[in-house]
Structure 1
């Protein structure tokens, strides 16, 4: 398949596909007319990368998942290196949650000081 089809099927832009290739995460073959050609394995890699980037992973984080798939594993997250990235990312998210909770408590304290009779409401941001 050509780059446009790969991008469409994976839900990314052609620019993203070229960038993933530039970063060494995927590679294309060239047809006789010079067009980039990809196969189903490339689609799987790009889909994995997109999925990881969507939830906050960097392309550097995605590398072990791509390597795991290239090594023939069923999923990109089934290799020890990928599991280590998952664990590190969860630690980062937990730290961000703690920091946000601390900030929220500080803002709530400032509100209580500025407006002693005000009640705090907890709104669901979704």
Structure 2
């Protein structure tokens, strides 16, 4: 299954960055890089993005890749949500926000995030 893909919710197209369960740092960084390439092919200011990180592990390299992803995505994204953060993820989330200067809303589950995203156009 491709980790970067479009899904639909209430008639709106949502870009899903599905990093759930990724525990290998090399796989995580490679997935993030593929997401960046995919996003770079989209029109500016066109994307509603949901990133799922539930049960994912990270290290310094993964955190750096996530910071770069968030900064890279800024011109392409109308609204962004992240789902499934644990306590340690929240620390990394703060670093991503500081680095990227983005406002990325957090949610406990996908349904809440999707419902919020479709109201952001």
TM bin, normalised by shorter chain, reads under 0.3
Q: Which has the larger radius of gyration?
A: 1
Which has the larger share of helix? 1
Return the TM-score normalized by structure 1: 0.23
